[in-house]
Amino acid sequence: MMLLLSNIIHSLGEQEILKLFKKAFLSLNNEGKLIVKDFYLKENKIEPQRAVLFAINMLVNTKNGNTYTKKEVTNLLSKAGFKKTKYTFVNEDVEFIEAYK
């Protein structure tokens, strides 16, 4: 079984994301996989420009939204119970993290 969260987490705060990841984890079977597609910041949090500008948009237009680094997201996935993650960059518009139960 596989679940996809596409361009969802940027509208949420970290605690909301963790809650969502925990629900996803519980709904997956033992070989389940969660795919989290979003705009990811580099660790310096000042690039890529698109993700930085999107973070400003989330700051202005949502209660808790933000853009996150791959490390921040993988840490939340780990806290939710996922054992392994894999990051894939396709192009500036498509990058995702796969999380395995």
**DSSP letter at 12?**
S
- The pair of three-digit structure tokens given for residue 28, joined into one six-digit string: 């997956």
Is residue 17's pLDDT more than 90?
yes
pLDDT for res 25: 98
Residue spans of beta strands (DSSP E) within 1-101 = 2-6, 33-37, 40-41, 68-69, 84-91, 94-100
Is residue 93's pLDDT more than 90?
no
In 3D space, the residue among 101, 95, 93 whose CA is nearest the CA of residue 37 turns out to be 95
Residue 34: which pLDDT band, with cuts at 50, 70 and 90? very high
Identify the CATH number of the domain in which residue 19 sits. 3.40.50.150
Question: What is the C-alpha separation between 86 and 100, in angstroms, rounded?
Answer: 9
Give the structural domain span for 34: 2-100
Number of domains in the chain: 1
Per residue in 45-82, pLDDT tens? 999 999 999 999 999 999 999 999 999 999 999 999 99
